[in-house]
Amino acid sequence: MDNMDENGTVKKYRISRRHHMTIHWKDFIVNDNILVKDASLKERTSIVGRVGILMLSCGTGAWRVREAMNKVSRALKLTCSADIGLISLEFTCFDDERSCTQVLSLPNTGVNTDKLNDMEHFVNNFETVSISLTVKQVHLALDNIQRKTGNYSPLIAGLAAALACSSFIFLLGGGISEMICSFVGAGIGNWTRSKMNARHVTTLISIAVSVAIACLAYLCIFTFFKTFFQILVQHEAGYIGAMLFVIPGFPFITSILDISKLDMRSGLERLAYAIMVTLVAALIGWLVALMVHLRPGNFLTLGLSPLMILLLRIPASFCGVFGFSIMFNSSPKMATAAGCIGAVANTLRLELVDLTAIPPSAAAFVGALVAGLIASVINHYNGYPRISLTVPSIVIMVPGLYIYRAVYNIGSNAIGVGALWLTKAIMIIIFLPLGLFVARVLLDKDWRHFN
């Protein structure tokens, strides 16, 4: 586009074509030296909104976003009313005489537990620390959090997915061959997704491409083993493990938690997003399997004693949860804490299924309940956000194998079998967040009531 300056010289410049326009928060600052508590309504409202949208960008649920906005609003002598979705929020702040309304949105959704931890510390300390700062200083502090890059490179993210999915496939009943193939497939797949995310490729494309590459990588390694080591063809059943890194654990769990608190808009939007991601991944996996003749059969028996399986499930559960936590950008300490929770909760769940007559959905409820209770204790002592501990610890309980078998059988016109697997998957998915909900009800008085 051409423009002419005051001297008549033609200048050429490029107009940004971003679909989501950048908000320049510094433009809200009227006076660099005025304290935030004495700032104008517009300036104070911008701080409340920025805290809310940063919390939302971390992947946490509507209840937690609203709680953070309310804390900041009270410190700024404002009343805040917010309507929160998956990637957008509309809110109004009131003072004694006037009101100010803003509408904010994100270009995409994601999970960043490390940034969430920083934001929770900022919000919790706002009334005692930030309230004595200027508006500019508060925005600079939020700038530092917003600009904080991920803790891990695409290579580390790929290795984390490899560790998580190979552990996941063992917990599902796979052996060494399936674990190795899943390790390679999931690692390459999540590395690909991380590279595409860095280039801001849209969600569905990055999921579809990364799942397809993960499945093909599994097939290549499996073919190599079958050719040179004569492993049985039944080991191909483990290829489902190569795509489990795309399980949308955070949206699934937070959707039901939001719905339980009557944040229906956020809950339903998160649920729709989680279903979309799951269906795309499962359909791509099914199409690849159809082209290369892979079948989601049963795993071969490992031939291990119940005691040995129990002893192996503990480290496998830890490694699986630790890997998923790293994928969610948790710090190593936070990932270790989540891994310890998962080692206890997931092992308990699997042992209940094996040693008792309890249905898998009820066992999932017990496992999630235990995870929620332990996470509350850890939160009390070190301040890690509960959701940053609970979701990674129970995402390994999400029945990705059941979902894939449902899609595979429905796609093959075995509607009855597919419906059975889908029903089992839905029951478990519903009971997982219910377990966390009950844990919060028992230990968090704010969660028990509305006001």
CB 225 within 8 A of CB 149: no
CB 334 within 8 A of CB 384: yes
- pLDDT, position 19: 66
Give the span between the Cα atoms of 123 and 433, in whole angstroms.
Answer: 25
Which of 155, 400, 217, 18 is closest to 209 using CA atoms? 217
| Three-state DSSP state, 393 | helix
Assign residue 98 a region (left: φ > 0; alpha: ψ between -120 and 50; beta: otherwise).
beta
Q: Which residues of 204-219 are buried (b: 16+ CB within 10 A; e: fewer)?
A: eebbbbbbbbbbbbbb
Q: Output the tens digit of pLDDT for each of the chain's 451 residues.
A: 344 344 444 444 444 456 667 777 777 777 778 888 888 898 899 999 999 999 999 989 898 999 999 999 999 999 999 999 999 999 999 988 899 999 999 988 888 999 999 999 999 988 888 788 888 889 899 999 998 888 899 999 999 999 999 999 999 888 888 899 899 999 999 999 999 998 989 989 999 999 999 999 988 888 888 888 777 766 677 788 888 899 888 898 999 999 988 899 999 999 999 999 999 998 998 898 888 877 767 777 778 888 999 999 999 999 999 999 999 999 999 999 999 999 999 999 999 998 888 999 999 999 999 999 999 888 888 878 888 888 889 988 988 888 888 888 888 888 999 999 999 999 999 999 999 999 988 887 777 777 6
CB 50 within 8 A of CB 105: no
Burial of 398 (0-12, 13-18, 19+ CB in 10 A): buried
Q: Alpha carbon 187 to chain centroid distance?
A: 18
CB atoms within 10 A of CB 56: 26
Three-point CA angle 144, 147, 149, nearest 5°:
115
- pLDDT, position 1: 39
- In angstroms, the Cα distances linking 275 to 253, 352, 411 are 12, 28, 17
- In angstroms, the Cα distances linking 82 to 104, 279, 450 are 11, 31, 15
Give the span between the Cα atoms of 190 and 145, in whole angstroms.
Answer: 25
- pLDDT, position 350: 93
Q: What is the pTM of this model?
A: 0.89
CA end-to-end distance (rounded Å), the chain: 54
Burial of 104 (0-12, 13-18, 19+ CB in 10 A): middle
Q: Where are the domains of the chain?
A: 25-147, 154-447
Residue type, 47: I
- pLDDT, position 18: 63
Between strands 88-94 and 99-105, the pairing is antiparallel
- Name the token pair of 35: 């304290």
Which of 232, 150, 159 is closest to 190 using CA atoms? 159
| Three-state DSSP state, 102 | strand
Cα dihedral 14→18→19→20 (10° resolution): -130
Cα dihedral across residues 343, 348, 350, 354: positive or negative:
positive
Give the length of the chain.
Answer: 451
| Three-state DSSP state, 76 | coil
